Structure 1
Amino acid sequence: MFELNSKKAFKMLISALTIMGTIISVKSWPCASPIRKVYSRENSDVVLRFSADFSNLNSPRLFDINFYDDSIKARITYNPDKTSTTDALPGVSITGDTAGNVVVTLANVQQSNAGVYTLASAGLSTKCNCLYILGTPRKPTVTVNKTPSVGESVTLTCSSTSTTIPSNHSLSLTYSWRVDNTDNPGGAKYTYTPSKDKLTVNNIEKEDANKQFTCTATEDVTGGYTSSRSDTSSFDVYYGPDNVAFSPSDTSYEKDENESLNQVTCSASCYPTCSFTWTKTETGRIVSNSALLNLGRLQSSDAGTYRCTATRTGGEPQSKDLTVNVICKY
């Protein structure tokens, strides 16, 4: 029986294998489908499983366990009666049963151990395991699709990427949200995509602008790691004009001719800030393009109704009227 004295000895052996005059190269052996995928955290023991081919087993048949780095650290020889003998270097164990189930255990794997492991025998198809070493997903980022207005919906997206190697693992990420101090709030207010990468906040209210959103990402596999928490995100809410009001709050004045009317300020609840115009309704004439109405010393022609209109881009204008009655003393 061949003794596993060193990695170098194994490489020399495999390089020397000749079948029908052709040198067999480890790297050129194709993997028979399917390739078994094995996922593990670092510092864990990993079990690789292979199926030995017993077809035409008329003499002892050697199977080599070829590692990710093309080294051979374990082997099993099956006899025609399907009994077997095994050899392995330290840190590796190998067993095989009479059904051809070969189990290879690797102790305390590290990221550097990730890659393809094969069970190979000259002239037979190669069976493969791909070992993936799990990593922590990168810290997520949160993006918002728009600045919503009251009554609309807004969608926040949590994005992260895997650090598991090799990178062809095709594992997906699932996400978890925290809104203020509540994890994954539900109800009609909050809806999610199946993986929770997108959170939609429905029927937006002004108060939603004060909420804090964070998320985490978890790799969707047994033993998958969870990322650190994203930075806090929030969004503005467009609203208004609402609650048009005057300061002073009076909506009707009666003044003598030549008497002054103190300045009146028009206000409204808006985000972003509203713009204001004052219009004399009887003539349609704009008397002020600001929130301030300042008529000064009144004349009889100043009598009438003055309308303050608050406007915001994307919002419905809102108005409020102020009446001025001027008394003539003739």
Structure 2
Amino acid sequence: MERVICTCFVVCGLLSIVQGGSLIISEKFMNGDVLFLWNGDIAQEYDIQITMDKTLSDWDRQTVTQYTVEDALLYDSIGIDVRLPGDSSNNKMTYSVSKVESYVGDSVNISWTAPFFPRAGAYTVYHTGNVNRSIIVVTSSGATFDQTKYEYQSRPFDSTKIGFNIRDISRTDAGYYNGGLSPEAAWSGGGVVLIVHDTPSKPKIQGNLNIMVDSYSNLTCSSFSNTAPEYYARLHPLSYTWYVNNTKLSETRETLMLRVFRDHKYNHYSCTAKAKLESDRSDPVIINPMYTPDKLTILPEPLLNSDDKLAVKEGETIGPYTCTADCNPPCDITWKYKDSTSGGFFDVASTGSLDSQIVNRSIGVYRCISKFLPDSSFKKIESIRLDVLCRPMFDYMDEFKTRYGCKSGDSMYVPVSVPIIANPPPKESDITWSGPTGQLAICSNVLQQNVIYKHLVKSFIPIKDRNFFGNYTLKYERESLITVTISAEELRINKSDLTEINNGGLIGLEGTVVVKVPIISDSLPLTSHITWLNPNGLMISDKSIVLQQTDGLYNYLITSILPVSGAKQFGNYRMLYDGNLITTIIIKEKDINMSPSAVLRKGNNSLSTMGLLISTILLSVLGTVFLGINIYHLYSRRKQANRKHDENSIGTAFYATQPNEQTYRNENKTEEHIYSAIDLQQE
């Protein structure tokens, strides 16, 4: 339906000569502002006072001949009073602001009163909008205009009451209308401002829709006014109406600020903008409240024991489990397990679903890990701690000594620490040891190691006499776990006795040295386990070794005849037993050429007079009985003969001789020394 705005008649002083004053004041309407101008000297100071409606401004002294009042459409009338300094005469003018409002598509009547109508020539009506243009030309006999758009209504044509109609209003018709004899009249006072209203643009809601819970979201309803002219629209900002789920809110500002909660994700927000007319409603938006999970949920819920652990036997399976978290955006959920041995965590599932898992003793924890992608520092963890049950067994992964050496006696014990895998920890009362003498009446201690299923069983095994040497088996609830061997302690040097180095030439064995080494051993040494290394580190194969027991149950004497020929054979000689170093002696050139006065050395190679006595006795006996008979055969065959080492029981002399060898014995009241002549064939 067409709406028509009634004609607005404006009567105002276009040109005023102030009563009693000398200034002539005129006005212009320029893009929403009113410009007052007066004649005068631009170097002259003037006192100016403005009246806007009924509000008076303070006097303002300026050196100007014009004054601009901005945003004139805010007022119905604007007055000015200009005085010369010291002169109380008033020079006043009042500008009446005439406005006509219409809507797009309507028709409107525009009218004002001109100060005069020209007797000759034409009166032109001007429209100043985006451009300045003439729309109607009136003479005393008629009017020229676009009849589809305008209709000139004043009669007679030369009437000073100017009136016309504008059809089918659009926003381009908005602006300032005035008339006169020249184009400058388009801006002169006394015209009418046509205001055209249209609906504001459809709003768009802008703002951060993805926002953390407990933060504040600012949503802006963005629209622009379609009211014209622009200098009117900017003085009348839009008002806004906000809706949540079609329910009107009290907020009328452009920006809606609200604190975000989790349930905001169910809300739809929209808005409208309004000037004279209200816009269409915006498309709804949904706030996406982002939040981290309060907790993680594992289903089905694991059945935990009193220690808040899931008890499971080794080799059995657990799961499947599903780990979920209420977070937005969805959390990144993974599963890891902890290796109790290394202490490290390892991936087992890349989603929240954990398949059935076969459990072993090294798995201590299955861990569900939730990460919140917008916050890289956030992490939430829910764990299933395992109590993996396993029967006691020997831990082959740990280093363990299975052979032990020991002396025997009432106060002799061998400490044995056996690594055990068990969960729960083994009971000390169920641990037993059995050995060569049967089951031992001893107690063992169980110590927890670095992981829950690793233990150390510490026991002290008594070795009362030689019958206790042998194999010992650790049992748990009568089940054998591991066996260890306890042997007599390896032989060692008897530091309370002498080590002798004798010239073999004194007994007819030229180029040899006779070495006698006292040792202690809880078990019977074997001559086949004795080796000698020459100064070059090479094993001596052309040697003879004799073993005999001396005073004391564990005391023995090892007598060795070593070939020494040439300067390269002098130096350090090492005796080994089962590859282990027993002692090192130094053989020098003088030991081959020494006289009977220097034949004995202590372990530190010091000389002893006891060696002189023994060597003298040996020399006389051997020289008297056999030296003349066998000296020739010794030098001709000793390099080719095979050597054999016979081993006899304790208390008997042991010989390393070929079959049919002659054995020489020399006895005194202090020691018994047994030698063997190598490669002497009996005649």
TM-score range for the pair, normalised by the shorter chain length: 0.5 to 0.7
CA 1:71–1:308 in structure 2 vs 1: closer, same or farther (change >3 Å)? closer
User: Which residue number in structure 2 is paired with residue 311 of structure 1?
Assistant: 371
AA partner of residue 70 (structure 1): S
Q: 1:43 aligns with which of 106, 109, 118?
A: 106
AA partner of residue 198 (structure 2): G
Equivalents in 2 of 1:286, 1:256: separation in Å? 21
User: Which residue number in structure 1 is paired with residue 348 of structure 2?
Assistant: 288
User: Which residue number in structure 1 is paired with residue 239 of structure 2?
Assistant: 174
AA partner of residue 317 (structure 1): K
Conserved 8 A contact 1:255-1:327 = yes
Equivalents in 2 of 1:207, 1:74: separation in Å? 69
Conserved 8 A contact 1:40-1:46 = no
1:201 corresponds to 2:258: yes
Conserved 8 A contact 2:112-2:162 = yes
CA 1:319–1:160 in structure 2 vs 1: closer, same or farther (change >3 Å)? same
Deviation per CA, 1:54-106, whole angstroms, max 9, x where unpaired? xxxxxxx448672425244789xxxxxxxxxxxxx966469xxxxxxx89685
Instruction: Considering Cα pairs closer than 8 Å and 6+ residues apart, tell me whether 1 or 2 has the greater RCO.
Output: 1
Equivalents in 2 of 1:167, 1:317: separation in Å? 55
AA partner of residue 280 (structure 1): K
CA 1:107–1:92 in structure 2 vs 1: closer, same or farther (change >3 Å)? farther
CA 1:92–1:261 in structure 2 vs 1: closer, same or farther (change >3 Å)? same
User: Which residue number in structure 2 is paired with residue 132 of structure 1?
Assistant: 195
Structure 2 matches for 1:176-255, cutoff 5 A? 176-185=241-250, 196-202=253-259, 204-219=260-275, 224-250=276-302, 252=304, 253-255=310-312
- Residue 287 of structure 1 deviates from its aligned partner by 3.7
Q: 1:274 aligns with which of 292, 308, 331?
A: 331
Equivalents in 1 of 2:233, 2:294: separation in Å? 51
Conserved 8 A contact 2:220-2:254 = yes
| Structure 2 unaligned spans of 5+ | 1-26, 35-71, 73-96, 128-132, 140-149, 156-160, 305-309, 393-683
- SS at 2:263's partner residue? helix
Equivalents in 2 of 1:71, 1:107: separation in Å? 11
User: Which residue number in structure 2 is paired with residue 324 of structure 1?
Assistant: 386
Equivalents in 1 of 2:239, 2:163: separation in Å? 31
Equivalents in 2 of 1:281, 1:208: separation in Å? 43
Report the TM-score, using the length of structure 1 for normalisation: 0.66
- SS at 2:195's partner residue? strand
AA partner of residue 212 (structure 2): S
- Residue 107 of structure 1 deviates from its aligned partner by 7.3
Deviation per CA, 1:168-187, whole angstroms, max 9, x where unpaired? 433322211111132124xx
CA 1:287–1:43 in structure 2 vs 1: closer, same or farther (change >3 Å)? closer
1:256 corresponds to 2:317: no
| Structure 1 unaligned spans of 5+ | 1-28, 54-60, 76-88, 95-101, 186-191
Conserved 8 A contact 1:251-1:322 = no
- Residue 230 of structure 1 deviates from its aligned partner by 1.3
- Residue 153 of structure 1 deviates from its aligned partner by 1.5
- SS at 1:139's partner residue? coil
Equivalents in 1 of 2:249, 2:205: separation in Å? 15
Equivalents in 1 of 2:256, 2:347: separation in Å? 47
Q: 1:301 aligns with which of 362, 382, 388?
A: 362
Equivalents in 2 of 1:133, 1:231: separation in Å? 27
CA 1:212–1:226 in structure 2 vs 1: closer, same or farther (change >3 Å)? same
Conserved 8 A contact 1:238-1:271 = yes
Number of aligned residue pairs: give it. Answer: 262
- Residue 46 of structure 1 deviates from its aligned partner by 5.2
- Residue 39 of structure 1 deviates from its aligned partner by 2.8
Q: 2:174 aligns with which of 92, 110, 114?
A: 114
User: Which residue number in structure 1 is paired with residue 513 of structure 2?
Assistant: none
- Residue 49 of structure 1 deviates from its aligned partner by 6.1
Equivalents in 1 of 2:101, 2:138: separation in Å? 21
1:153 corresponds to 2:216: yes
Equivalents in 2 of 1:151, 1:323: separation in Å? 34
Deviation per CA, 1:195-243, whole angstroms, max 9, x where unpaired? 62211221x1111011111111111xxxx11111112221212122233
Equivalents in 2 of 1:90, 1:66: separation in Å? 12
CA 1:248–1:284 in structure 2 vs 1: closer, same or farther (change >3 Å)? same
Conserved 8 A contact 1:241-1:317 = no
- SS at 1:231's partner residue? coil
Equivalents in 1 of 2:204, 2:358: separation in Å? 60
Deviation per CA, 1:278-305, whole angstroms, max 9, x where unpaired? 3528524134353244573222222x23
Aligned identity (percent) is: 24
Equivalents in 1 of 2:344, 2:175: separation in Å? 79
Conserved 8 A contact 1:251-1:323 = no
Deviation per CA, 1:120-170, whole angstroms, max 9, x where unpaired? 478988113321211111211122324111111112111122223344433
Conserved 8 A contact 1:244-1:318 = yes
User: Which residue number in structure 2 is paired with residue 70 of structure 1?
Assistant: 134
- Residue 312 of structure 1 deviates from its aligned partner by 0.5
Equivalents in 2 of 1:267, 1:281: separation in Å? 24
Equivalents in 1 of 2:330, 2:369: separation in Å? 13
Give RMSD over aligned pairs: 3.6
Equivalents in 1 of 2:319, 2:389: separation in Å? 16
